[in-house]
Chain A
Amino acid sequence: MTTQAITFTVNGEVRRAEAPLGVTLLDLLRGHLGLTGAKEGCGEGDCGACSVLLDGRPVNSCLVLGVEAAGRVVSTVEGLAARDGRLSALQRRMIEAGGIQCGFCTPGILVAAAALLASTPHPTEAQVRRAIAGNLCRCTGYQAIVAAVLAASQEA
């Protein structure tokens, strides 16, 4: 497959990759950069398990080509904690509230919620629910996740 050399910023680090033209950003992150935090739940943009931030905005990385990330800034769940491993308020609150069960949707929900809190530091419950409306969770029923995001927003 034809490839294209791209340079982009991933979780604050400049990365280079030989991106095959037909490969999604999700597969590029998972297969080429070893960042397996983002998951594939459907491959069709319906479930949000593959959510990452592209220039700060949540995208379904299964619907974005890897080469489209050239020159841009990508943030994944692996970039949420501090470099020394300290968890972000959002991660801590997710754990404390019981917002994590099987954990498969968690990376996508965390980045979607992080994007919300970056743009709207003190969201309403309805805003939180809308912000994660593109992320399916089959375990938790969302209630603990919403509580966690609201609790994290109180720390800001």
Chain B
Amino acid sequence: MNGATRIVGRRVTRLDAVGKATGSTRYVADLEIPGLLRAKLVTSPHPHARIRRIDTTRAEALAGVVAVATHRDVPDRRWGELVQDQRVFAKEKVTWVGDPVAIVAAVDAETAARAAALVEVDYEPLPAVFAPEAALAAGAPTINEGWEDFAVLPPFAASYAEVKGKNVAWRQAVARGDVGRAFREAHLVLEETYEVPMGQPAPIETHALVAQAGPDGKLTLWTNIQIPFGAREVVAHALERPMSKVRVIVPPIGGAFGAKCQVWLEPHVAALALKARRPVALVLTREEEMTLCQPRHPAVIRIATAVSREGKILARRARTLFDTGATTMLAPIQAGWGCFMAVGPYAIPNLDVDVACVHTNAASCGLVRGPSGPQTCFAVESHTDELAKRLGLDPLEFRLRNLLTEGSEAPTGHRLTQVGLREALERVARAVGWGDRPQGTNRGKGLAVAFWSTLTGQGSGAVIQVNEDGSVSLHTGAVDHGTGAASAGLAQIIAEDLQVPYETIGIVHSDTETTPFDFGGVGSRTTFNQGQAVRLAVADARRQLAEVAARELGVPAERLELVEGLFRVIGEPGRQVPLTLCAALAPYTVGPVIGRGTYNGTPPSPSPDIRFTGAFHRSLNAPSFGAQAVEVEVDPETGRVKVLKVAAALDVGYAINPLGIEGQIVGGVVQGLGIALTERSVIEEGRIRNPSFLDFKLPLAPDVPPIEVHVVESARSLPPGSHPALYGAKGVGEPPVIPTAAAVANAVADATGVRHHALPLTPERVWRGKRTPDAA
């Protein structure tokens, strides 16, 4: 059981909020450096073409142009965080509309844009391929030329060797049991196919980068990336220089949602700064953001499930094709998570799941919040309702018979603890009055459940300095991309463990030169991993302070306890010294108080009877469990879906800051409503046709219904002494977005009697579905 806490577990406001509320927070595009130039990318207008010639002379001759960089200005090598398959600037060929060919630096943005248009590239168009199935066909053009020899991050080389191939970015398969037999012996087998189009993370801040090269060749980059240390590694690799000559600083990020979790334009801007010998800024336009920056993968999900007469799921076969676009980027992660998402949070003894990320001549897709989650959950949870219908069971009852529960085996075979899924589902069902569903009213209710893993195993470091007045400066590699994981959660953890006031904590974020390594603000990992590093750093600092107190009190440090900010001699009331005094004395006695903590969790191992192919993800670490319920009204005349209410529950294990968690849940749900109803990147022949907020419609304030949040804390009911580190807290950032679209689709099916197999549920789609239900 967790003991009583003072500030952990409370609703606290974030430490960075005043700066943001007053407009004084400086984002990348707000930075001013004397002599700062403006950059513009030159990108391919063709989906697939050979490059015959690149001529930059006219661009360079334009007054105000300082430098133009192309492949000739960077080392002749490929890069990639996992599979090294891409060049900084295209050399032999371009493989998508938007493929960077050159970048221009000029005295102002207008001149840079004019110069970019003067870069002459002679292209020879090649046959292109725009659908994963077509790309896998025997006669398809090869997009990933050289795939036989791409270098791969060493731990995954063997897995890559199992699955690599022409136009295959990655493939992961997971199998257990005997699916064929279960299908033969089942009471019922249902097979369906679902499709989800390309989507957009759409942070309001576009990608923005500033790069400066010192006279010694040292590069400094300010960039709004979620993985500063990964960016340093890629830039060092791509530009062939030691990491000590590359510094990456991440100012506050204006929203990310995975858009900024892959290294992307850092090498381009760095190369330009080196050539220009002046600082340069690249701030993408909204159109560039929505065409160049790793949208959400389009997906086709084929799913077949065998069930018993009693309504137990016996086996599942799933085949997912993600359209990854031209380069691999982080597709292995998409494929890995996609396997588990295709199982869903159900106990299924027999599995045959195969998820492929396939190259096409389109923008490289990325890891958007809960990568693979919303797409696959839409398929799985629509399918769950269809199974229930065929069994004559209520969708709630069917789910309850199959949900993962405490002690269940995960799809990877390890035993799960802290499973608050049933509570989450029952709470949201109650919140929408599940039992009360009058037919024939154009209204309907839908449920969906999901789980998501908390990423660990990649390393987090934290350093805290206890200042002479007892205030604390935290140096963390964690980025601030808006979640509050660092700017509230980490500070709460320090305030709790060191018994210092929350408000006195200052945070230095994400600077590869001054803050310790952190893998990044990705995978819902910051609180879980940084939180544990911070706790260790505080414990280290406490030992140093206790040493001062021991000298002051003339007792060994082991005889001291820290209570309400005082080091007290155990069992001797009144014999005590304040922590603040110890902090003031420390520099002149034991030395400055600097605590260090590092953490690298070990995800649970899969059971040996799970058969992996192309294994990238093998485990689900500390999964969070979510359930959402939605009530909708469908206008029979127009097909317009109006969401009347959403109830969203998430088992977060333990809520370190309920205010921040509610913000993540509501925000995730609203992104999910966009996926469900309006958001779709229209792509034709590899060109994204609607790269603006006018044509790609995010939910607006008046569109959003009341969202009722239920924070489930499964760690609170663990037996004494068994709670995991960090109070049992689990990842929160990504999971809320996953079940929403599925719950909306189920509510629409409930209201209309029509099952839709594709998103988004636009008025046109829903209206047509009523007329021709079989085509839906």
Query: Interface on A for B, CB 8 Å cutoff?
Result: 30, 35-44, 46-47, 49, 76-78, 80-81, 87, 91, 94-96, 98, 100-107, 110, 126, 128-130, 132-133, 135-146
Residues of B within 8 A of A110 (CB): 21
Quick one: closest A residue to B666, CB to CB?
Answer: A141
CA distance A15 to B481 in the complex (A): 34
Nearest CB of chain B from residue A113's CB, rounded to whole Å: 11
Whether A140 and B255, one on each chain, are in contact in the complex, defined by CB atoms closer than 8 angstroms, is no
Provide the residues of chain A in CB contact with B700, threshold 8 Å.
133, 136
B252 in the interface, Cβ–Cβ < 8 Å? yes
The distance from the CB of B735 to the nearest CB of chain A, in whole angstroms, is 15
A102 touches B13 (CB 8 A): no
Find out whether the CB atom of B255 lies under 8 angstroms from the CB atom of A104: yes
Our pick among B30, B255, B701 for the contact of A102 (Cβ within 8 Å) is B255
Contact A87 B202 (CB under 8 A): no
Contact of A100 among B21, B29, B701 (CB under 8 A): B21
Asked if B693 and A140 sit within 8 Å, CB to CB, the answer is no
Contact A46 B694 (CB under 8 A): yes
Contact flag A138-B204 (CB < 8 Å), given A41-B286, A78-B22, A126-B702: yes
- State A38–B25 Cα separation when bound (angstroms): 11
Would B694 and A44 count as touching, CB distance under 8 A? yes
**Given known contacts A39-B205, A47-B693, A102-B203, what 10 new A-B pairs fall within 8 Å (CB)?**
A41-B286, A44-B693, A46-B693, A98-B13, A101-B482, A101-B484, A106-B21, A132-B701, A139-B482, A139-B663
Contact (Cβ within 8 A) A37 B483: no
Q: Which 6 residue pairs are nearest across A and B when measured between Cβ atoms?
A: A37-B23, A102-B482, A104-B254, A103-B20, A141-B670, A77-B23
Q: Which of B24, B204, B257, B285 contacts A49 (CB 8 A)?
A: B204
Chain B residues near A43 (CB, 8 Å)?
Answer: 285-286
CB pairs A–B below 8 angstroms (24 shown): A35-B23, A36-B23, A36-B30, A39-B205, A40-B283, A42-B693, A44-B692, A47-B204, A78-B23, A80-B21, A91-B22, A95-B17, A95-B18, A100-B20, A101-B483, A101-B663, A102-B254, A103-B16, A110-B21, A133-B702, A137-B701, A141-B668, A141-B671, A146-B701
Give Cα A35 to B493, complex, Å. 35
Residue in A closest to B736 when the chains form the complex, CB atoms: A141
When distances are taken between beta carbons in the complex, the residues of chain B under 8 Å from A87 are 18, 21-22
Q: Does B27 contact A (CB under 8 A)?
A: yes
* CB-defined contacts of B56 to chain A, threshold 8 Å: none
Most chain A CB neighbours (cut-off 10 Å) among B21, B659, B707: B21
Interface pair B254/A39, CB less than 8 Å apart: yes
Chain A residue nearest to B19 in the complex (CB)? A103
**From A91, which residue of chain B is reached at the shortest CB distance?**
B21
Q: Which residues of B contact A (CB under 8 A)?
A: 13-14, 16-27, 29-30, 202-206, 252-257, 283, 285-286, 481-484, 659-660, 662-663, 666-671, 692-694, 698-702, 704, 706-707
Count chain A CB atoms within 10 A of each CB in B16, B24, B254 and give the residue with the most.
Answer: B254
The complex places the Cα of A41 from the Cα of B205 at a distance, in Å, of: 6
The answer to whether A140 and B22 have CB atoms under 8 Å apart is no
> A35 CA to B668 CA in the complex, in Å?
31
Q: Are A44 and B286 in contact (CB under 8 A)?
A: yes
A141 to B706, CA, bound (A): 10
Contact A141 B707 (CB under 8 A): yes
In the bound complex, how far is the Cα of B19 from the Cα of A136, in angstroms? 20
Min CB distance B252 to A, Å, is 7
Choice from A37, A98, A105, A139 contacting B24 with Cβ under 8 Å: A37
B22 touches A40 (CB 8 A): no
The residues of A that contact B706 with a CB separation of less than 8 Å are 143
Smallest CB separation, B522 vs chain A (Å):
15
Residues of A contacting B707 in the complex (Cβ-Cβ under 8 angstroms): 141, 143
A96 to B25, CA, bound (A): 18
Chain A residues closer than 8 Å to B693, beta-carbon distance: 41-42, 44, 46-47, 136
Instruction: Report the nearest B residue to A145, measured CB to CB.
Output: B701
Q: Give the chain B neighbours of A103 by CB distance below 8 A.
A: 16-17, 19-21, 25, 252, 254, 482
CB distance from A95 to the nearest CB of B (A): 4
B206 touching A41, Cβ below 8 Å = yes
Q: Are B286 and A42 in contact (CB-based, < 8 A)?
A: yes
Check B659–A135 contact: CB distance below 8 A.
no
Q: Are A39 and B26 in contact (CB under 8 A)?
A: no
CA distance A144 to B666 in the complex (A): 9
Closest to A27 in B: B109
**A102 CA to B260 CA, complexed, in Å:** 13
Cβ-defined contact, B701 with A129, below 8 A = yes
Q: Given known contacts A95-B13, A136-B693, is B204 in contact with A102 (CB within 8 Å)?
A: yes
**Interface pair B286/A39, CB less than 8 Å apart:** no
List residues of chain B with CB within 8 A of the CB of A40.
29, 283
How long is the Cα–Cα vector from A107 to B204 in the complex, in angstroms?
A: 12
- Of A80, A130, A140, the residue contacting B667 (CB under 8 A) is A140
Give the residue name and chain of the B residue nearest to A34 (CB): B32
Instruction: Point out the residues of chain B lying under 8 angstroms from A136, CB to CB.
Output: 204, 693, 698, 700
Residues of chain B within 8 A of A47, CB atoms compared:
204, 286, 693
Q: How far is the CB of B636 from chain A (nearest CB, A)?
A: 25
User: Among B17, B256, B699, B707, which residue has the most Cβ atoms of chain A within 10 A?
Assistant: B17
